[in-house]
Amino acid sequence: MAENLSIQGNSKEERYQNLLPQVLALIEGESDLIAAMGNACAAMHHTFGWLWTGFYIVKNDELVLGPFQGPIACTRIQKGRGVCGSAWQQATTLVVSNVDDFAGHIACSSLARSEIVLPLIDRDGVVLAVLDVDSAELATFDEVDAKYLGEICQALVRLF
């Protein structure tokens, strides 16, 4: 296993195209969910320099904080609460350009300005976890992020 990522490219998509195979290789070679999530999280976070990057895992009808990079975070989130709980409830990716415009947004950090949350969904349509990414900038996330982060999420589903 390589100890460093090799990320090249000027555009967001080029950086994802470099990052994705490396993260998938880290996940492919790991049998432990927490270890795989931890490395995937670190790789994504350090490639893009986001404010917060992490996973919440569904446990006993709530989202419980999993591996993450960034400032301390909320440890438990109820279904339907905030962006994470809403993405879980709706079983869909949510892209929020301005968190101040999202009714019920949970502000774990006052620095967060935009957010993307992607559910990890099994073959039966059950949400197992969510990937949550926050940025200190407005309108950071779009369909490019949803596409590539979605591929990473799907690769992690096999470890549940």
Q: Is the pLDDT of residue 141 over 90?
A: yes
Q: Degrees (nearest 5) of the Cα angle 66, 72, 74? A: 65
Q: Rounded mean pLDDT of 49-57?
A: 97
Tell me the pLDDT tens digit for each residue of 60-78. Answer: 999 999 999 999 999 999 9
User: What's the pTM?
Assistant: 0.95
pLDDT score of 107: 75
**Could you identify the residue written with the tokens 């109820």?**
78
Do 144 and 138 form a contact (C-beta atoms < 8 A)? no
Give the pLDDT confidence score for residue 2 in this predicted structure.
56
- Whether the predicted pLDDT of 1 surpasses 60: no
Average pLDDT over residues 80-107: 94
Tokens read off for 117: 């949350």
pLDDT of residue 9: 85
Confidence band, pLDDT 50/70/90 cuts, at residue 79: very high
Whether the Cβ atoms of residue 130 and residue 63 lie closer than 8 Å to each other = yes
In this structure, which long-range contacts are made by residues 14-20, counting pairs with CB atoms below 8 Å and at least 24 apart in sequence? 15/47, 15/48, 16/144, 16/145, 16/147, 16/148, 19/43, 19/44, 19/47, 19/148, 20/148, 20/151, 20/152
Cβ density class 61-98: b for 16+ within 10 Å, e for less: ebbebbbbbbeebbeebeeebbbbbbbbeeeebbbbbe
pLDDT at 109: 79
